[in-house]
Structure 1
Amino acid sequence: MIAIGGGEIRYDETLAIDKEIVLAANKEVPEILFIPTASGEPQGYVESIQKLYGQKLGCKVKTLYLLNNQTSSDEAREMILNTDIIYVGGGNTKRMLQVWKQYSVDKSLKEAYEKGVVLSGLSAGSICWFESGQSDSNTYEQGVKSPYIRLKALGLIPGLHCPHYNEDNRLEEFDKMVQESSEVGIAIENNCAIDFKSDEFRIIKSDKSSKAYRIYKVEDNLIHDELTNINEYKSIDRLFNIN
């Protein structure tokens, strides 16, 4: 499972990470299923994935369309379970999770995880694998905009997750979320990813300056452990065990 913090795929910003996703399938010509629900399934995004993973990285690319009743729950499950790689695109995480539930995609993705399908994604496609995550919000409370909300996700990885940690004021807002909870926060900047394999993890970067962090609370203090230079697989306990 490879969770990417962010980056523009149309400009090949995550190319080094994308190559690792393809290698993880361990097949000469892997099949990848793109799920663009979060962004509203725009054709331009589909074409960018086709160009990157199809033309450049040599995969057979398929797209799972869920909006406008284009696919049944059974058809979605069949596509999800009969592929080598799943790549979930970025966009509106809340809307994506709501649509997934309608088509039982959340359950099918958990089946794919158990089956050993490579799971990956960027932004919303990174949040979805965690227990919960920081997502954009358009809600207003007492006239003041709340830029981010906390969403419960699929729970395949424990902890609270923040992609795009180096964008806008996400750092400050995510740190508040961690401060208010007893959970470990996993923050990933753009052009950086965490590769989870069995009970281990490592960091993959397409930009050497990009970083990932483990954030947790000790009494009233917030601790930021930089994970950036973990190139070899380490025990996942290093992420979630703070004792």
Structure 2
Amino acid sequence: MKNDQSGALALVGSGEYLPKLQALEQELLRLGISRGKSKTYIQIPTAAGKEGDDRLDFWRQRGAEQGARIGCEVKYLPVLTRDDAHNPQWIEEIKNAGLIYFSGGDPVHLCEIFSQTPMWQAIVSAWQEGASLAGCSAGAMAFGGKIIGIRRSQMSDGLSLLPEIEVIPHYDKFLGWLPDRVAAAIVRKDANTALLGIDENTALVLTDKWHKYGSGNVHVLRGEFEISDEPFPIN
């Protein structure tokens, strides 16, 4: 789905809206602005939609704090149902945003809400027209063709923005917490995709090529996938 006009795309292992990843998020926003988008940071907390109002408020506040540190407008879009993903006002707000960010939670729930909706199409179109797009944890998993069975035992369909990959976020933690499920994902015989493990506080960022950013590593666990030796540059 990427074209010559597409913006940056970030798959983040953990740490959304935290000071330790502020430089990454600020640079993603700057890249969106450089392609004609506004100084607006869109928060989409859908993956946490089943976790209750307190958790949603947590994400709203954390995003607002990051926006204040960056010095940009933040718009929080509580897309919690499929009807919400048809909201014309929110779809309009997405179109000119510099950065659109999906935070963590349940990737399957995220896909159930967004799959084949006008809002998802608007997000893809905005990215193809220069906006930066990021997904952390569940958000990163949802962008792939399949969601591996880490939180749930079975695999599920992703949004297929990147149909050639599958993602394990928090890889340095999940490897210790759920080693059997990680191993099963790596050796799956029917897979024709690359499986990527992204450590906490680490991102894999696509611009002209894929670059790593952050304190951890990105692991190619299955298949072929090329990552530049040069880290993601921060201007």
The two structures have a TM-score, normalised by structure 1, of: 0.75
CA deviations over 1:9-45 (Å, ceiling 9, x no partner): 45x3423432332332245971111101111261121
Letter aligned with residue 167 of structure 1: K
CA RMSD, aligned part only?
Answer: 2.9
In the alignment, is the contact (CA less than 8 A) between 2:32 and 2:130 conserved in 1? no
User: 1:142: which partner in 2?
Assistant: none
CA displacement at 1:232 relative to structure 2: 5.8
Structure 1 position 51, deviation (Å): 0.6
Candidates 183, 190, 211, aligned match of 2:193: 183
Instruction: Give the partner amino acid of 1:14.
Output: L
1:214 and 2:224 matched: no
Alignment match of 1:66 (pick from 79, 82, 86): 79
The one-letter code sitting in structure 2 at the alignment partner of 1:212 is: V
Who is 1:231 aligned against? 231
Cα pair 2:43 2:101 within 8 Å, conserved = yes
Aligned to 2:3: none
Alignment partner of 1:120 is 2:126? no
Question: Which of these residues, 19, 29, 38, is aligned with residue 22 of structure 1?
Answer: 29
Residue 151 (structure 1) shift: 2.7
Larger radius of gyration: 1
Deviation at 1:56, TM superposition (A): 0.3
Distance of 1:164 and 1:194 partners within structure 2: 13
Structure 2 counterpart SS, 1:154 = coil
Of residues 106, 109, 126, the one that matches 1:95 is 109
AA in 2 matched with 1:34 = Q
Pairing 1:3–2:11 present: yes
Task: Figure out how many residues of one structure are paired with residues of the other and give that number.
Answer: 212
CA 175–226 in structure 1, closer or farther in 2 if over 3 Å, else same: farther
Length-normalised TM-score, structure 2: 0.77
| Unpaired runs of at least 5, structure 1 | 139-145, 218-222, 234-243
Q: Deviation digits for residues 89-132 of structure 1, max 9, x if unmatched? A: 10011111111237533222222222221101210121122222
Judging changes above 3 Å, is the alpha-carbon distance between structure 1 residues 102 and 16 closer, same or farther for their aligned structure 2 residues?
same
> Match of 2:125, SS?
helix
* Higher percent of residues as strand: 1
Secondary structure at 1:14 match in 2: helix
Deviation at 1:166, TM superposition (A): 1.2
**Using a 3 Å threshold, how does the CA distance of structure 1 residues 212 and 45 change in structure 2: closer, same or farther?**
same
CA contact (8 A) 2:210 2:227 kept: no
- What are the within-5 Å matches in structure 2 for residues 40-79 of structure 1? 40=49, 42-52=56-66, 54-67=67-80, 72-79=86-93
Structure 2 residue aligned with 1:82: 96
AA paired with 2:11? Answer: A
2:71 is matched by which residue type in structure 1? G
Structure 2 Cα separation of the partners of residues 36 and 50 of structure 1: 13
Q: 1:228 to 1:15 in 2, by over 3 A?
A: farther
Alignment partner for residue 34 of structure 1, among 43, 62, 68? 43
Q: Equivalents in 2 of 1:95, 1:75: separation in Å?
A: 22
Q: Which runs of 5+ in 2 are unaligned?
A: 1-8
Provide the identity percentage.
20
Residue 135 of structure 1 and its aligned partner are, at CA, apart by 5.3
1:238 is aligned to none
**Cα 1:16–1:150 shift into 2, 3 Å:** farther
Amino acid at match of 1:166: D
